[in-house]
């Protein structure tokens, strides 16, 4: 079934991919869909930052929230709101 004006993301619909990152000297795993990893990579490159540094900045903002979401949710929200 096709819906006019609606298309799959580049590469199709793919479930989360787990990557290990280091934040403040601590290794952690994050599971995100490839479309979000690409957006984060692009945003980091546009800001002249390593990916881990961008993720650390989003994490620092996340933990100041009254009820911090998990890191993957915060990253997805940031990508969408930042237009990354």
- The tens digit of pLDDT for each residue in 20-70 reads 999 989 999 999 999 999 999 999 999 999 999 999 999 999 999 999 999
Contact 75, 42 (CB under 8 A): no
pLDDT at 82: 84
Burial class (CB in 10 A: 0-12, 13-18, 19+), 65: exposed
pLDDT at 1: 63
The C-alpha atoms of residue 1 and residue 25 are separated, in whole angstroms, by 48
Confidence of residue 9 (pLDDT cuts 50, 70, 90): confident
The C-alpha atoms of residue 38 and residue 44 are separated, in whole angstroms, by 10
* CATH tag for 17-82 (out of 3.40.80.10, 3.40.50.12280, 3.40.190.10, 1.10.3990.20): 1.10.3990.20
DSSP state of 44: H
Does position 74 have pLDDT exceeding 80, yes or no?
yes
Does position 2 have pLDDT exceeding 90, yes or no?
no
Give Cβ neighbours of residue 40 (< 8 Å, ≥ 6 apart): 32, 51, 54, 55, 75, 79, 84
């Amino acid at each position: 079934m096709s819906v006019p004006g609606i298309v799959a993301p580049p590469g199709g619909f793919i479930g989360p991919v787990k990557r290990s990152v280091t934040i403040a000297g601590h290794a952690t795993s994050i599971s995100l869909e490839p479309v979000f990893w690409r957006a984060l990579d692009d945003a980091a490159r546009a800001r002249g930052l390593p990916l881990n540094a961008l993720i650390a900045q989003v994490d620092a903002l996340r933990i100041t929230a009254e009820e911090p979401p998990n890191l993957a949710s915060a990253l997805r929200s940031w990508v969408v709101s930042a237009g990354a």
